[in-house]
Structures are given as C-alpha cells and as structure tokens.
Structure 1
Amino acid sequence: MRAVVVERFGVVPEVREVGRPGVPVGGVVVRVQATGLCRSDWHGWQGHDSDIVLPHVPGHELAGTIAEVGDGVTGWQVGDRVTTPFICACGTCEQCLAGNHQVCPNQLQPGFNYWGSFAEYVAVPFAEVNLVRLPDELEFETAAGLGCRFATSFRAVRQVGKVVAGEDVVVFGCGGVGLSAVMIAAALDARVIAVDTNPGALELARAYGAAATVQAGPRAVEEIRELTGGGAQVTMDALGSNEIVQQALLALRPRGRHLQVGLLPAGVQLDVSRLIGQELEWLGSHGMAAHAYPEMLELVASGVLKPADLIARTISLDEVPAALDALTAGTPAGVTVIRP
C-alpha cells in the first residue's frame, strides 16, 4: 500500500510503498476512504509524543470500509462503512467497564502507538468496542473528522463542560477542534465568543454560530470581559498554549469552568491561587468513546450539527507531506481532509 512515512522527526516525510497491516485478533483492517490532517499529527511528527517509534505512519482521524475481519470479531463484516475514535480502548479494564473508554489505560491510538491512517489501509484493534457504524448518507470525508476533532469537541462541550443555553462560552483557537466547539456550543444556544489570530478563521467562526469574535492578543481578555459583563461561564483552549491557558483563566467569571482540549507538550504554569480563590474548575477532555457516538450522529442526521461545513479543503496522499510541514507556520482555517 501507499503511505506517508516519517523517517526522522521534523524532517518532511515521503509517500512510498510499504506493507499492508496484518489483521489483529479481535480487530479489523479498514480500507481508508478519508482521513483528517490534524495538529496532533504535527505534534507527533515533531517528536512530541514518546509513544511514536520511527519509521512511522501518522494519521488518526479516519473513515472507510472494512477490508479484513480478524478472529474473534462478531457483528462486523467486510464492506461495512465505519469510523472509530482515535482512542481505541481495550473494552475489558476497570475504566472501560465503567464506560470511560477514552481514558482506557490499555488504549492504542492509530498514528501514535502504531501506524496510522495516512495510508490506504489501517488496522483497528478491539473492533467490537471501537468501531462505529456509519449511516449510508454520511459522506466519508465528513465522518473522518468525527473520530477526533468533532467528537472531541462534542464530548468536551456537551458531556464534560455541560454547556447550557444562555451561557457565555469562549473558544480560544479556531482550527478544526475550535470551530467544531463553536458550532456545537452555538447549537446548544450558548453565546459563543471565538478568539484567534487568523481573520479567516474568525470569519468561519461567525458563519458557524459565534455571536462575537476577538482578535487574539494582549487585549483579548479585556475585550472578553467587556463582552460578557465580567467574564464567561466557560472557556476552552482548543489549540494548546501556555499563554492561552493564562488568558482563558483570566477571562472566566467566579466559579467558571475551563476546558482543556489542546495538547500542552511544553507544560503549563497555573495560577493556583486564582483557581482556589475564584473556585474555578479545570476540566480535561480527551476524545470520546464509540458507545457515545449515537447522540452526536443523530444531531448530525437531523441537521442540527453540520460537520461537513467545516471541511475547507480535500487533498491527496501525495500532498500530505507539504500540508503537514505547512502546519509549522500555523493552523489554516477549516478542516483538511485527505483522500488516499
């Protein structure tokens, strides 16, 4: 099969022929029909993830059809249209049995623990707890983004942050995760304020339901506090930045909730005294389990949520190395989808 192969961290990868993945016991091999290009892939390529062993194939947002079914798998067959969370849970540990697949200590992640979906085929382990059946009317390009950015934002906003109608929600960073969060929070009738450096991203945020936008910079917190009459109920770091975290906490009103979704490979400094004195909540959110997808898929089917609108460009496998390298200069507006 053809795949994007990283030989050295930070060095632009190449597209070349490699062996197809074997089908794991209890798992399947998926023929990749679409896969998303995410900032997490850039972090992995830069060497920020200790699980990655070179040579490596990135890619963790995927949708496609089952090409092979491993021993022990029931309920799935070749040709089924599927997607999967980027966190593939084992299904048998204490956390999985409690329904918390997204924090499974035995998890495997395509594109990180093993070769991912920037390829024509990818393996999915523990198929019976990780595969999500796709409705026939849902396009593969749209479904690919549900595996990471959209599902991650849905769980963060809806299930972890428990955003309700009328709340002020500030989203810092309007890449794929941030724009998904804007759309989801707006659909919940929250008043969304989007913050980014990119005017194009802010324009998209307004199109997806943001009531106001703020240019990122030293006056961002002041503007947010003015817009919200003293601070927001909820802030979200959708990018992953120490500077954003500080601004997000300052933009909260007392007893506000901060959602941390963006990765922080360099760590972060927290004003713990402010957290205590203002009774602020710091809430981490990491993906979404396969069993939690039905609510999101129903909202997509009904037209309340429109993840297809987030797709700004579709590229080929041969264009991935340059597109990955371009993320070094910043995240472009909208979602990029790859058709292998």
Structure 2
Amino acid sequence: MDAVVFQGVGEPLELKSVDRPDCGANEAVIETEACGICRSDWHAWQGDWDWLGIIPRSGLIFGHEPVGRVVEVGENVTRFSEGDRVTTPFNLSDGTCPHCRAGRANICESSVPMGFVQFQKGAFAEEFSVRNADQNLVEVPENVPAHEIAGLGCRFATAFHGVSQRVDVSAGDWVAVHGCGGVGLSAVHTATALGGNVIAIDIVEEKLEFARDLGAVETIDSTEVDDVPQAVKSFTDGSRGVEVSVEALGISQTIKDSVNCLIPGGQHLQVGLTTSEEGGEVSLPIDFMVQNEREFYGTYGMPPHEYDDIFQMMSSGKINPGKIVSETCSLGDIPSVMERLGEYDTMGIPVCTEF
C-alpha cells in the first residue's frame, strides 16, 4: 500500500510503498477515507516534543485524525466488524486503568499516541491499524462526509472536550481565544455554540475573518495593540475581563496574555502545546492567579464516549466542523501541505481525502 513516510527530523517526507498493517487479536485494520493534516504532525516532523517522549524514528507514518472502513478485525474484537465506518481518538487507551474506568480515557495511564510512535503508526496511508479496537473505535454516521469526520480529529475534539467539559462556558459568558489556527477556530465554534461571546485574537486578518464567520463577536489583531489583555477587557462588561480564556498556540506570551485577561475566578484553558523555543515550560503570573483565584486547566484529546455529544450537536445544527476544513488534498500532496504548515500558510484544517 502507499503511505507518506518520515525519513528523519526535517528531512522531506516521502510517498512510498509499504506493507499493509498486521491485525493483532485486539486490533482492527481500517481502510482510510480521510485524515486531517495536523500541526502536531509538523511538530513531530521537526523534532519538537522530545521532552514529552515523542522521538519519531525513520519509517514512521504520521496521521492521527482519520476516518475509514473496517476491513479486518482480530479474534478478540466483538463490537466492530468488517464494513463499519469508524474514527478514533488520537490518544489510544487500554480501557482498564482507573482513568479509563472513570470515563477519562483521554488521560489513560497507558495512552499510546497514534502516529507518533513506531509501534502504532498513523493514517497517512491507505490503511491503518487501531489497538484495543473495542475500546477506541467510534462508529460514525453514514451521512456525514469523510472530510467532516476527519475534521473532528485531534484539533476539534481537543477543543470541544476542553470548552464543553473542562471549563464552564455558559450562555452570555465572555470567552477569549488566543490563536486562530485549526484548534483555535474549533474553540471559537464550540464556545459560540454553547452561547459564549467570543473574542478571537490572532495576527492574520484572514484568520480573524474566519473566526468571525464561525461566530466570534469581536476580534483583535495583536500586532496592532500594545496590551492584549487590556484590549480584550475593553470589549467586556465594565472592562472586567473574560470568564474563560483559551490559549491555542503554546507560546509563552500568549499564555500570559490569556491568564491576564481573566476576571477574578476566571478559567484559563491550555490547548496549545509548546514548541522547542519554550521546551514545555513557561512562566506564569502566579501571585495574581492566587490572589484572584484564577484557574488553570489543560485539555488533551477526548474520550471516545464524547463523540456522541459532537454527533448530536452536528445533527441538530448547533455545530458544523466541516466549516473549519479549509482544503482537501491527495496522499501525495501531504508533504507539501506539511511544508506550508511550517510557514503558517494554511487556514483552518487541511484534510487528505484521496488515497
């Protein structure tokens, strides 16, 4: 089968013929219909996140936002069979640890990040395998186009889980979103659907326009203001600040801005992972956070059972993840799209739909 294969940090990705994946007793093999092309793939390609244990080796296949059809199941798989249309979270869980049993499979103690480790290759390929298939596969509606399901992958799912489950967004709340890439736009769309008044912040006017199309009521070009937190507060009632602030970039300055634009008792949601410049660590205004009881939350992927919430909101018309998908491409185009991600020359979520 054909796949886009990692050759080394910063080396050109190559379209190659490789062996189709084996199917273990607890696994399923899926024929790929579509797969999102995520900035997380780009980070791994560039050698970021070694502090998280992400150290890709030559021969790895990236791709962790897939949808497809089951073509083979292992002898221990009982919930799925050939022909089922499925997706999966990127952080594959075992279903047995205390977090899994408590409904928080996204932080499974034995979590395996699909497409980032050699023993669980990803979906930039004609077929991919999924471990612990009964635990991790999610059946998807037949009437939803493949690119929209792929658009639910890492970015939308992580933003949706964070905004809808990790923090408290109520109708009328002010919500700031710092960074309008794919995950930031997903946060804008989700917070709007929950009734929030969203203020979107970025440095690219086209991305701010995209955010307005998705429901942002105010936008800020951070290159045009001296103090982003004060600019955010100027839009809120009595310049008090926002109830929830989402950081979707992983940059030291925007993380500080996010915390500093909160009202007392407000909630900061960290979605973006850092780059090699921050190395996984940033400084925070701790004394102000303590004094004002500002809360700091993280969000990482989404447990499988929460996909039903997304599908229900899609069915009722409250959210439309397909609106964030900005372009589609073929498998052979993935290397060039990945190059453009590094140049911040993409909008929304690019998705591969031809294999």
Interval of TM-score (by shorter of Structure 1 and Structure 2): over 0.9
How far the C-alpha of 1:331 sits from its partner, in A, is 5.5
Do structure 1's residue 241 and structure 2's residue 247 form an aligned pair? no
TM-score normalised to the size of structure 1? 0.97
CA distance in 1, matches of 2:129, 2:272: 26
| Partner SS, residue 4 of structure 1 | strand
Q: Could you tell me which residue of structure 1 aligns to residue 153 of structure 2?
A: 147
Gaps of 5+ in 1: none
CA distance in 2, matches of 1:321, 1:136: 29
Match in the other structure for 1:22: 22
The 2-side partners of 1:183 and 1:18 are apart by 38
Paired letter, 1:44: A
**Cα deviation, residue 224, structure 1:** 0.6
Cα distance between partner residues in 1 of 2:263 and 2:282: 21
CA contact (8 A) 2:199 2:217 kept: yes
Distance 2:47 2:63 in 1: 14
Task: Single out whichever of 113-122 and 199-208 deviates more from structure 2.
Answer: 113-122
What is the rounded CA distance, in whole Å, between the counterparts of 1:186 and 1:147 in structure 2?
A: 19
Q: 2:266 aligned with 1:256, yes or no?
A: yes
Deviations 1:70-123 (A, max 9, x none): 120002111110001111110011111111100001111211122111111111
Identify the residue that residue 157 of structure 1 maps to in structure 2.
163
User: What is residue 317 of structure 1 aligned with on the other side?
Assistant: 331
Identity %: 39
User: Which amino acid is 1:84 matched to?
Assistant: T
User: Among residues 84, 102, 109, which one is paired with 1:105 in the alignment?
Assistant: 109
- 1:285 corresponds to which residue? 299
The equivalent of 1:6 in structure 2 is 6
CA distance in 2, matches of 1:332, 1:294: 29
- Residue in 1 aligned with 2:129? 123
Q: What's the offset of the Cα at 1:209? A: 0.4
Any residues of structure 2 matched to 1:25-44 within 5 Å, and which? Answer: 25-44=25-44
Q: Name the counterpart of 1:338.
A: 352
- Displacement of 1:278 in angstroms is 1.5
Contact 2:202 2:220 in 1 (8 A): yes
Q: Structure 2: how far apart are the matches of 1:262 and 1:194?
A: 15
User: What amino acid is the match of 1:236?
Assistant: V
Q: Matched residues in 2 for 1:197 and 1:118: separation?
A: 30
- Offset of residue 324 of structure 1: 0.5
Query: How many residue pairs end up in the alignment?
Result: 340
The one-letter code of the counterpart of 2:299 is S
Partner of residue 86, structure 1: 90
Amino acid at match of 2:229: V
Give yes or no for contact 2:21–2:29 (8 Å, CA) kept in 1.
yes
Deviation at 1:268, TM superposition (A): 1.3
Distance 2:345 2:113 in 1: 22
Whether 2:178 is the aligned partner of 1:172: answer yes
In the alignment, is residue 274 of structure 1 matched against residue 279 of structure 2? no
CA drift at 1:230 = 2.3
Give me the whole-angstrom Cα distance separating, in 2, the residues matched to 1:53 and 1:12.
14
Shift of 1:323: 1.0
Contact 2:158 2:183 in 1 (8 A): yes
Give distance in 2, aligned partners of 1:78 and 1:131.
Answer: 13
Query: Aligned partners of 2:221, 2:345: CA distance in 1, in Å?
Result: 15
The whole-number CA distance in structure 2 between the counterparts of 1:8 and 1:337 is 23
Report the residue type matching 2:32 in the other structure. Answer: V
CA distance in 1, matches of 2:256, 2:93: 32
Measured against aligned partners, the alpha-carbon deviations of 1:171-205 in whole angstroms (never above 9, x if no partner) come to: 01111111111111111111000111111111010
Mapped to 2, the partners of 1:58 and 1:269 lie a distance apart of: 31
Query: What is the rounded CA distance, in whole Å, between the counterparts of 1:240 and 1:25 in structure 2?
Result: 38
Which residue matches 1:222?
230
Residue 280 of structure 1: how far off its partner (Å): 0.7
Q: Contact 2:88–2:137 at 8 Å: present in 1 too?
A: yes
State the one-letter code of the partner of 1:198. V
The TM-score with structure 2 as length reference comes to 0.93
Which structure 2 residues correspond to residues 131-142 of structure 1 after superposition, within 5 A?
A: 131-142=137-148
Following the alignment from structure 1 to structure 2, what is the Cα–Cα distance between the partners of residues 203 and 332?
Answer: 14
Distance 1:331 1:175 in 2: 10
Supply the distance in 1 between the matched residues of 2:216 and 2:345 (Cα, whole angstroms): 19
Report the CA distance between 1:11 and its aligned residue: 1.6
The answer (yes or no) to whether the contact 2:151–2:324 under 8 Å persists in 1 is no
DSSP-derived class of the 1:324 partner: helix
In 1, Cα distance between the equivalents of 2:47 and 2:25?
Answer: 30
**Which ranges in structure 2 are unaligned for 5 or more consecutive residues?**
none
Residue in 2 aligned with 1:188?
194
